[in-house]
């Protein structure tokens, strides 16, 4: 499968949805939860605000957000995978999640009204979009003036650096072999390919400035393995 082929990506995330949370915890040693919390601590969502989680998957970040904007705010989770959204709906049967709603839609064509959110998050979604720049433009379109956004993903590290060696080792020798054991080799081999075409932090910052974001900052996490693009409209 080639990165950025939306139909293939949708099929991929549909097919792995039932194992997605388990594998996410396994491959990140549970640390993705910490990185998502860190992202929210930088964004400081507050009670009463209206937030959007683009490429929400099974909705863990949406529900975390709901705890911050509770009780008068709202969170909308958007993903184009039917199976991921179905699992997100199941996950949100608890109290704090009542203010979360879910929509199956393409993050590049949400059809949501412009200038309507106090904040937008996207975790591990930008790398999968057909056109990441168009994804940032869509975020900009949806934000109210002065509103914040945070995009968390793998960091596209410098080739031949120690961290790039470690990233390759981790993806090739840990992730893919484990995924192979449960018949998901090709699905997880896709991760490294998707990273090759993913813009670096510096490039993401440049794109965001050109789009018109007033404040742009790229921060690294996990010793440089992950990165977060923090934006203000
Ligand atoms: C790696 S998962 C991340 C899910 C979740 N945000 C998380 O952090 O666990 C990427 C998600 O992006 C969704 N996705 C990819 N491209 C999309 C698009 N163009 N529109 C909407 N969702 C998309 C996939 O269906 C998948 O659920």
Which of 35, 19, 226, 21 minimizes the C-alpha distance to 127? 226
What pLDDT, on a 0 to 100 scale, did the predictor assign at position 217?
Answer: 98
Beta-bridge partner residues of 149:
120, 231
Q: What pLDDT, on a 0 to 100 scale, did the predictor assign at position 127?
A: 94
Q: Does the model's pTM come out above 0.85?
A: yes
Answer yes or no: are the C-beta atoms of 136 and 207 closer than 8 Å: yes
pLDDT reported for residue 2: 55
Please report, in tens digits, the pLDDT of each residue of the chain (233 residues total).
555 789 999 999 999 999 999 999 999 999 999 999 999 999 999 999 999 999 999 999 999 999 999 989 999 999 999 999 999 999 888 766 778 999 999 999 999 999 999 999 999 999 999 999 999 999 999 999 999 999 999 999 888 888 898 889 999 999 999 999 888 888 889 889 889 889 999 999 999 999 999 999 999 999 899 999 999 99
The predicted structure's pLDDT at residue 187: 82
Beta bridge partners of 100: 75
Which domains, and CATH codes, for the chain? 6-154+198-232 (3.40.50.150)
Ligand 1 contact, 61 CB (< 6 A):
yes
- Is there an atom of ligand 1 within 6 Å of 17 CB? no
Contacting residues for 177 by C-beta, under 8 A, at least 6 apart? none
- Does ligand 1 lie within 6 Å of residue 108's CB atom? yes
pLDDT at 58: 96
193 and 175 in contact (C-beta within 8 Å)? no
Distance 123 CA to ligand 1 centre (A): 8
How would you class 111 by CB atoms within 10 Å of its CB: exposed for 0-12, middle for 13-18, buried for 19 or more?
exposed
Instruction: Give residue 210 CA to ligand 1 midpoint distance, Å.
Output: 25
Q: How far is the CA of 108 from the centre of ligand 1 (A)?
A: 12
């Amino acid at each position: 499968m080639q990165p950025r082929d939306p139909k293939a990506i949708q099929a991929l995330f549909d097919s792995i949805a039932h194992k997605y949370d388990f594998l996410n915890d396994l491959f990140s040693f549970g640390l993705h939860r910490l990185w998502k919390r860190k992202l929210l601590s930088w964004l400081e969502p507050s009670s009463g605000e209206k937030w959007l989680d683009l490429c929400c998957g099974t909705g863990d970040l949406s529900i975390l957000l709901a705890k911050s904007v509770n009780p008068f705010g709202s969170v909308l989770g958007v993903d184009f995978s039917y199976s991921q959204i179905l699992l997100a709906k199941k996950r949100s049967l608890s109290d704090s999640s009542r203010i979360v709603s879910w929509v199956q839609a393409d993050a590049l064509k949400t059809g949501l009204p412009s200038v309507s959110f106090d904040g937008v998050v996207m975790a591990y979604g930008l790398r999968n979009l057909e056109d990441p720049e168009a994804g940032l433009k869509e975020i900009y379109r949806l934000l109210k003036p002065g509103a914040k956004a945070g995009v968390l993903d793998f960091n596209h590290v410098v080739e031949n650096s120690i961290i790039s060696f470690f990233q390759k080792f981790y993806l090739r020798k840990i992730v893919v072999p484990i995924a192979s054991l449960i018949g998901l080799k090709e699905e997880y081999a896709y991760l490294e390919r998707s990273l090759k075409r993913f813009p670096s932090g510096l490039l993401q910052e440049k794109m965001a400035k050109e789009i018109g974001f007033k404040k742009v900052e790229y921060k690294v996490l996990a010793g440089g393995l992950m990165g977060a693009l923090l934006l203000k409209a």
